């Protein structure tokens, strides 16, 4: 499949048997990535994209292994294809959002003239129930053959955001927590219960544990934009958080099209809001 074929999902072969699946945005946000990570006995599918196109079929063409599905966080550009699968793992703080998403509403494609690319109502994965398995920081997916993938809780962008470290390959799949584009910790909060997790302080705390494993990380594969980032981003991001926490709210850029002043340290960029720095 080629980009010009206008498919919503395009597989991109990565290093060491990993496949990255490019998920084209229907608009209103950036294109995203899912990642298919094979072990010896199982494969791990990290995120399910926008729910446009038959991800399950594509994955079955890419591996003969049974597939475990995990979401890096609950946002719609990462969970859209979940109803195609019987069971999905997610951090326990983000699980309630999956139950809500299962209930609807029914999805409909916008008028053809407003679509970013060619797809129809039939290509949309509709809300449906599936089993949710709640996991926590430190959980390990055992894919067989020494392929173990450890969960790191990285709240801030989402209450239950996680990174997934494939220890054998040294690949960190970082969702929207470590990205080349800015991490957004500035969105309005719809649900009071999750306020405590959506701060720079909580993000920093998660990064501190990840930083202890920094030398195990050879490359970082985020949920959007550039792939194969260097592990120095982990420390840049932690220091970016520390500066905000110390009261340095200096802004070098504004995020175009969104209400986000950016604090920058090295390669790390945080779109922040003053109310979302410290955990009360
Ligand atoms: Zn995203």
pLDDT, one tens digit per residue, over 201-240 is 999 999 999 999 999 999 999 999 999 999 999 999 999 9
Q: Is 2 exposed, middle or buried (0-12, 13-18, 19+ CB in 10 A)?
A: exposed
Q: Are residues 179 and 242 in the same domain?
A: yes
Who surrounds ion ligand 1 at CB < 5 A? 77, 176
Whether residue 141 is contained in a domain is answered as: no
Whether residue 142 is contained in a domain is answered as: no
Closest by CA position to 272, among listed 257, 280, 250: 250
The rounded Å distance from CA 30 to ligand 1 centre is: 7
Q: Are residues 157 and 71 in the same domain?
A: no
pLDDT of 17 > 90? The answer is: yes
Task: Pull the structure tokens for residue 252.
Answer: 């070098």
pTM for this one?
A: 0.95
131, 147, 267, 265 alpha-carbon torsion, rounded to 10°: 80
Q: Are residues 22 and 120 in the same domain?
A: yes
Q: Are residues 202 and 126 in the same domain?
A: no
pLDDT of 65 > 70? The answer is: yes
Whether residue 74 is contained in a domain is answered as: yes
End-to-end CA distance of the chain: 49
Confidence of residue 4 (pLDDT cuts 50, 70, 90): very low
The rounded Å distance from CA 174 to ligand 1 centre is: 11
Of 106, 136, 166, the position where a domain reaches its end is 136
The rounded Å distance from CA 60 to ligand 1 centre is: 24
The total domain count for the chain is 2
Confidence of residue 188 (pLDDT cuts 50, 70, 90): low
Of 98, 113, 136, the position where a domain reaches its end is 136
Of 136, 167, 186, the position where a domain reaches its end is 136
The rounded Å distance from CA 76 to ligand 1 centre is: 8
DSSP notation for 248-277: ----SEEETTTTEEEEEETTEEEEE-GGGS
Whether residue 86 is contained in a domain is answered as: yes
Q: Please enumerate in sequence order all residues whose Cβ is within 8 A of that of 226, keeping only pairs 6 or more positions apart, or say none.
A: 180
Residue 271 domain boundaries: 147-280
């Amino acid at each position: 499949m080629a980009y010009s074929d206008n498919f919503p999902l395009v597989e991109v072969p990565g290093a060491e048997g990993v496949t990255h699946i490019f998920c084209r945005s229907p608009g209103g946000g950036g294109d995203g990535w899912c990642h298919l990570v094979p072990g010896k006995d199982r494969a791990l599918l990290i995120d399910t994209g926008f729910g446009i196109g038959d991800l399950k079929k594509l994955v079955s063409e890419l591996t003969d292994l049974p597939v475990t599905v995990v979401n890096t966080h609950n946002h719609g550009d990462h969970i859209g294809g979940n109803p195609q699968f019987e069971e999905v793992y997610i951090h326990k703080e983000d699980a309630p959002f999956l139950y809500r998403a299962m209930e609807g509403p029914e999805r409909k494609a916008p008028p053809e003239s407003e679509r970013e690319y060619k797809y129809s109502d039939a290509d949309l994965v509709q809300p449906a129930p599936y089993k949710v398995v709640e996991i926590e920081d430190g959980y390990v997916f055992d894919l067989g053959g020494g392929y173990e993938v450890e969960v790191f809780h990285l709240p801030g962008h989402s209450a239950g955001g996680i990174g997934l470290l494939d220890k054998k390959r040294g690949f960190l799949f970082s969702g929207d927590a470590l990205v080349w584009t800015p991490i957004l910790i500035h969105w309005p909060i719809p649900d009071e219960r999750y306020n405590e997790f959506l701060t720079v302080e909580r993000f920093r705390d998660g990064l501190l544990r990840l930083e202890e494993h920094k030398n195990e990380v050879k490359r970082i594969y985020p949920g959007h934009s550039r792939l194969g980032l260097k592990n120095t981003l982990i420390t840049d991001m932690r220091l970016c958080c520390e500066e905000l926490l110390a009261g340095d709210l200096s802004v070098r850029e504004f995020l175009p099209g969104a209400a986000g002043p950016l604090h920058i340290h090295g390669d790390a960029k945080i779109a922040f809001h003053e109310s979302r720095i410290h955990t009360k």
